[in-house]
């Protein structure tokens, strides 16, 4: 398989014909046909159904096209990196931040690094639960910041700070829960959705959530902002990072609740994480050492 063959195949799919593909990538039509034919012969599959007026993808062709697009996107990124390196431009430092960790403490530390090392470009993505460590495992980031989900002896990590998790619901919804006790019984919440942020790992399952009722409705959303909006409108109850909802707590739009036999409130440690076997770039080492200085235990790099 050659990149030119993939480019020809993708061009046929995106332009709708072999002739248009030839024009779009400046090749001859016989050259385009030969490139696609070579791919089909190499893998023993038919990429196109040629019985219609225009070539249409077979089921195998559709699957092959999706992966081809991903590969060509990575090739383009590699080409751009090569050009940047040739011009003396450093590759960006790739960080993955847990959505839970985005409090002022975390942001101020990253901002301090950026101000001190203005020549380092940061490439920041966010994920949730096991999706953060998955980014490390798939070499999509060099350093992650988040809670201790999915860590094992492959990881080195340092605690940076703690965030407060608190269970809340709107006062209007709370008024519908008939209770005279200081704690709400779990059964009283079974009919009210517990709102959870989806685990972003590829093999995600609800087992990624440690604090869920064993029975009852559950709603899954993509991020904490959506989760907060649903809470404010009385659609359910949830555990939330306190820094996300401090103003709503202050003005009584959300009310803390205590649920019987449930971790309604706790402090959650936030760690800086990297893979032990992964060779760290100069920028990653700079970041690691500066963040280590902010740690409450700066000399300790934890082993599992």
Using alpha carbons only, give the angle 258, 162, 225 rounded to the nearest 5 degrees. 65
Query: Per-residue confidence at 299, pLDDT binned at 50, 70, 90?
Result: very low
Mean pLDDT of 224-241: 96
pLDDT over 60 at 206, yes or no = no
Query: What band does 303 get if pLDDT is binned at 50, 70 and 90?
Result: very low
The pLDDT of residue 251 is 96
Which pLDDT band holds residue 242 (cuts at 50, 70, 90)? very high
Secondary structure of residue 193 in the 3-state scheme? coil
Using one digit for the tens of pLDDT, what is the confidence trace for 68-111?
Answer: 988 887 787 677 667 656 655 567 899 999 998 889 988 999 99
124: confidence class by pLDDT, cuts 50, 70, 90? very high
Mean pLDDT of the chain: 87
From CA 134, how far away is CA 73, in angstroms rounded?
A: 20
Instruction: Check residues 296 and 9 and name the one with the higher pLDDT.
Output: 9
Mean pLDDT to the nearest integer, 147-154: 83
Which pLDDT does position 154 carry in this prediction? 86
pLDDT (0 to 100) of residue 139:
84
Tokens 């639960």 appear where? 129
**248-272: pLDDT as tens digits:** 999 999 999 999 999 999 999 999 9
Higher pLDDT, 206 or 245: 245
Arithmetic mean of pLDDT, 45-49: 91
Confidence class for position 298, pLDDT limits 50, 70, 90 = very low
The DSSP result for 136-177, as a single string, is HHTTS-SEEEE-SSS--TTEEEEEEEEEEEEEEE-HHHHTTS
Residue 304: pLDDT band with limits 50, 70, 90: very low
CB within 8 A of 83, min separation 6: which ones? none
Tokens of 75: 């090739």
Distance, CA of 52 to CA of 16 (rounded, Å): 12
DSSP letters, 28-66, are -HHHHHHHHHHHHHHHT---EETTSSS-EE-HHHHHHHH
What single string gives the DSSP state of each residue in 251-273? Answer: TTSSEE--BTTS--EEEEEEEEE
For residues 5 and 13, what is the distance between their CA atoms, to the nearest angstrom?
13
**CA–CA distances in Å: residue 288 to residues 140, 142, 145, 249, 301:** 17, 10, 11, 34, 11
What average pLDDT score do residues 209-231 get? Answer: 92
* Ramachandran quadrant class, 14 (left: phi over 0; alpha: psi -120 to 50; beta: rest): alpha
Cα radius of gyration rounded to whole Å, the chain: 25
219: confidence class by pLDDT, cuts 50, 70, 90? very high
Residue 210 has pLDDT above 90, yes or no: no
Give 31's Cβ-side CA count (13 Å radius): 15
Mean pLDDT for 108-123 is 91
d(CA 35, CA 44): 14
DSSP for 214-249, written as a single string: SSS-EEEESSHHHHHHHHHTTS-BEEEEGGGSHHHH
pLDDT of residue 34: 94
């Amino acid at each position: 398989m050659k990149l030119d063959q993939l480019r020809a195949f993708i061009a046929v799919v995106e332009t709708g014909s072999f002739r248009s593909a030839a024009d779009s990538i400046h090749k001859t039509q016989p050259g385009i046909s030969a490139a696609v034919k070579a791919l089909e012969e190499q893998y023993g599959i038919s990429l196109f159904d040629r019985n219609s007026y225009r070539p249409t993808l077979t089921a195998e062709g559709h699957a092959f096209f999706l992966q081809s697009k991903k590969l060509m996107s990575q090739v383009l990124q590699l080409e751009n990196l090569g050009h940047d390196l040739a011009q003396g431009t450093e590759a960006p430092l790739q960080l993955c931040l847990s959505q839970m960790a985005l409090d002022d403490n975390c942001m101020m530390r990253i901002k301090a690094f950026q101000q001190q090392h203005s020549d380092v470009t940061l490439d920041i993505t966010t994920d949730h639960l096991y999706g953060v460590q998955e980014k490390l495992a798939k070499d999509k980031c060099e350093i992650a910041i988040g809670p201790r989900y999915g860590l094992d002896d492959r990881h080195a990590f340092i605690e940076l700070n703690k965030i407060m998790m608190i269970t809340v619901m709107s006062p209007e919804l709370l008024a519908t829960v008939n209770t005279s006790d200081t704690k709400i019984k779990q059964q009283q919440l079974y009919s009210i959705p517990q709102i959870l942020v989806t685990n972003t790992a590829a093999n995600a399952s609800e087992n990624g959530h440690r604090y869920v009722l064993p029975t009852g409705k559950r709603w899954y959303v993509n991020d904490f902002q959506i989760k907060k909006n649903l809470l404010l409108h009385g659609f359910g109850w949830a555990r939330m990072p306190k820094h996300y909802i401090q103003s709503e707590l202050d003005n009584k739009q959300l009310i803390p609740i205590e649920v019987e036999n449930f971790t309604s409130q706790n402090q959650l440690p936030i760690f800086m994480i990297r893979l032990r076997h992964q060779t760290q770039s100069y920028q990653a080492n700079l970041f690691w050492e500066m963040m280590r200085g902010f740690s409450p235990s700066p000399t300790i790099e934890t082993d599992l």
